[in-house]
């Protein structure tokens, strides 16, 4: 027993009360042995009256026994401790290849920069629906400063000319600290991480299952940066010239893989995680009752599995990849490097180069596009073709509400042909087959992929 413990009184086996010699007050403490363990819990009784201290000690002893019996945590942890434990767990997942390292870095950033500062020293057992529902308001009022360099696209600032007055350090610092409100989509992702941490805490029995917040997530009403039909046709045509302009055999091979990846993503609506996990064994080429070829593709993200269907043109793109790939066995990944290893970045730098050279990297709204824009393009083109939103949601592995919330900008003006069909002057117009070699939305996603004709 430590030297600062004084006036010890044994109340029963495993339960004592005592005072501390290293403090000035005369309040009592109790130490309780946790049943079926070798651990003890010390509690401040906050009273100097010995009889009151004894009563409180017995109450705390009974509470701990109740907790043990009903599998309620005895030792409380702070939200920060649990959040760090959650982040460390995901780092191990990234190191073992179950998620990408970039994904872990994003989650860890949410935790360190926003969730922990919001919760402060709050115990995990005290986090409730009120803290959950207040987070968007706190986040809007506590936005982070605008960064001069965009993530992944660092650019040097031009030096001040000889006649320019250079800014003082205070002025530069003031500019750097200028903040903008967080976007709804960002807040949504952070709250999804918060809920995941609480689920993690429930699994670890730090909290009860009912304590996990059930409130709705904020809706991200930001425009998805899809391509217009004209932009996609331009990109499709430019990409073929871009491949031919490759200077080395390796460069041509890499651009060809990136090009076919782009076509498959835009014609299936796959998520990038699903594409990264795709193996040859997941693809089953079939024919329908009319003899038309299509592919049934089993895709998986973090833990969920689903099936999507793809038109015959996607089968062609997959065959193009198979012909130049070093990995074509059933268990091999579809999207690989030149050495047959899984592509961790899914040709991200190549896609960026293609979008930059084709002047399509920045959308009309001023946002930077990424590989995820191909999924948004798929959804937009399908809706413009009049595909039922229920079937589209099933194909994309999402909800009807999400489709309606995120793609509400598919206005009647964009679907005028279908809405006005039958009105004089709006008779259906025969469409040409377009690009025979590509059959993407130069003639595929925008005008509807057409079934192959039997000879």
- pLDDT tens per residue, range 236-261: 999 999 999 999 999 999 999 999 99
Is the same domain home to 196 and 256?
Answer: no
Evaluate whether residue 65 is within a structural domain: yes
pLDDT (0 to 100) of residue 437: 37
The verdict on 247 and 207 lying in the same domain is no
| Residue 434 located in a structural domain | no
End-to-end CA gap in the chain: 92
Same domain, 127 and 260: no
Identify whether 161 is part of a domain.
no
Q: Per the domain annotation, does 242 fall within a domain?
A: yes
Residue 258: its pLDDT value, please? 96
* Of 79, 113, 90, 101, the residue nearest 187 (C-alpha): 113
CA-CA distance, 375 to 377, in Å (whole number)?
5
Indicate if 128 and 273 belong to the same structural domain.
Answer: no
Domain interval for residue 32: 5-69
Q: What pLDDT score was predicted for residue 173?
A: 53
Check whether residue 48 and residue 123 sit in a common domain. no
Q: Same domain for 179 and 280? A: no
Q: Based on the domain organization, do 190 and 236 belong to the same domain?
A: no
Q: What letters, b where the CB count within 10 A reaches 16 and e where it falls short, cover 273-310?
A: bbbbbbbbebbeeeeeeeeebbbebbbbeeeeeeebeb
Do 277 and 395 share a domain, yes or no? yes
Listed as ranges, residues in the chain with pLDDT below 50 are 146-165, 176-177, 429-455
Helical H segments across 325-424, by residue range: 348-357, 373-384, 389-396, 400-406, 416-419
Angle at 359 between CA 382 and CA 159, to 5 degrees: 140
Helix 229-244, helix 373-384: angle, nearest 10 = 130
Residue 6's CB is within 10 A of a number of other CB atoms, namely: 10
Q: What is the pLDDT of residue 154?
A: 38
Are residues 23 and 142 located together in one domain of the fold?
A: no
Per-residue pLDDT, 231: 93
Q: What is the pLDDT of residue 30?
A: 95
pTM for the model: 0.56
pLDDT of residue 222: 55
Domain count, the chain: 3
What's the CA gap between 247 and 141, in Å, rounded? 51
| Tally of CA atoms within 13 A in the half-sphere of 182 that contains its CB | 22
Residue 252 lies in a domain: yes
Please say which residue of 49, 69, 89 terminates a domain.
Answer: 69
What pLDDT shows up at residue 368? 85
Same domain, 300 and 336: yes
In the DSSP assignment, the letter for residue 365 is T
Q: Which residues pair with 40 in a beta bridge?
A: 33
Tens of pLDDT along 89-126?
A: 999 988 887 777 888 999 999 999 999 999 988 989 88
DSSP-assigned beta bridge partners for residue 194: none
206 and 309 belong to one structural domain: no
Q: Could you tell me if 67 and 59 are in contact, meaning their C-beta atoms sit under 8 angstroms apart?
A: no
Residue 19 lies inside a defined structural domain of this protein: yes
Contacts of residue 293, defined as CB under 8 A and 6 or more positions apart, other chains included, come to 285, 286, 287, 312, 315, 452
Strands of the 40-44 sheet, one edge to the other: 5-12, 15-20, 29-33, 40-44
Q: Where among 40, 69, 98 does a domain terminate?
A: 69
Question: What's the token pair of residue 423?
Answer: 């009105």
Q: Are residue 134 and residue 233 in the same domain, yes or no?
A: no
Q: Which runs of consecutive H residues, i.e. helices, occur in 385-415?
A: 389-396, 400-406
Residue 74: inside a domain: no
- Residue 144: what pLDDT? 60
Does 453 reside within a domain? no
Q: Which of 104, 86, 109, 290 is nearest to 196 (CA)?
A: 86
């Amino acid at each position: 027993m430590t030297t600062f413990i004084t006036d010890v009184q044994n109340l029963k086996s495993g339960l004592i009360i005592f005072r501390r010699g290293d403090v000035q007050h005369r309040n009592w403490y109790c130490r309780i042995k946790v049943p079926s363990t070798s651990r003890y819990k010390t509690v401040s009784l906050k009273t100097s009256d010995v009889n009151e201290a004894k009563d409180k000690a017995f109450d705390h002893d009974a509470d701990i026994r109740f907790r043990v019996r009903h599998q309620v945590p005895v030792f409380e942890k702070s939200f920060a401790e649990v959040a760090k434990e959650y982040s460390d767990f995901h780092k191990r997942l990234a190191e073992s290849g179950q998620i990408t390292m970039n994904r872990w870095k994003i989650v860890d950033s949410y935790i360190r920069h926003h969730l922990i500062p919001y919760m402060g020293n709050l115990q995990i057992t005290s986090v409730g629906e009120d803290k959950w529902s207040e987070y968007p308001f706190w986040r809007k009022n506590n936005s982070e400063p605008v960064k001069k360099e965009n993530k992944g696209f660092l650019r040097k600032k031009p030096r001040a000319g000889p006649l320019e007055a250079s800014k003082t350090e205070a002025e530069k610092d003031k500019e750097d600290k200028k903040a903008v409100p967080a976007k709804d989509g960002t807040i949504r992702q952070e709250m999804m991480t918060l809920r995941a941490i609480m689920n993690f805490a429930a699994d670890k029995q730090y909290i009860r299952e009912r304590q996990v917040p059930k409130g709705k997530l904020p809706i991200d009403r930001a425009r998805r940066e899809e391509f217009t039909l004209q932009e996609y046709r331009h990109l499709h045509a430019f990409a073929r010239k871009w491949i031919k302009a490759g200077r080395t055999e390796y460069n041509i091979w890499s651009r060809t893989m990136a090009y076919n990846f782009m076509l498959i993503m835009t014609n299936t609506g796959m998520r990038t995680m699903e594409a990264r996990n795709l193996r040859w064994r997941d693809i089953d080429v079939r024919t329908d009752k009319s003899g038309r070829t299509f592919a049934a593709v089993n895709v998986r993200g973090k833990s969920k599995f689903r099936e999507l269907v793809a038109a015959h043109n996607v089968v062609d793109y997959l065959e193009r990849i198979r012909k130049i790939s070093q990995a074509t066995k059933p268990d091999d990944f579809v999207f690989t490097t030149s050495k047959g290893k899984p592509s961790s970045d899914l040709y991200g730098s190549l896609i960026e180069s293609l979008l930059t050279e084709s002047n399509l990297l920045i959308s009309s709204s001023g946002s930077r596009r990424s590989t995820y824009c191909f999924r948004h393009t798929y959804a937009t083109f399908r809706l413009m073709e009049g595909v039922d939103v229920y079937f589209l949601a099933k194909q994309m592995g999402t909800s009807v509400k999400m489709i309606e919330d995120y793609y509400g900008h598919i206005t009647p003006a964009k679907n005028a042909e279908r809405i006005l069909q039958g009105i004089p002057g709006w008779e259906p117009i025969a469409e040409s087959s377009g690009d025979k070699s590509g059959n993407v939305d130069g003639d595929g996603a925008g005008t509807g992929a057409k079934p192959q004709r039997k000879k």
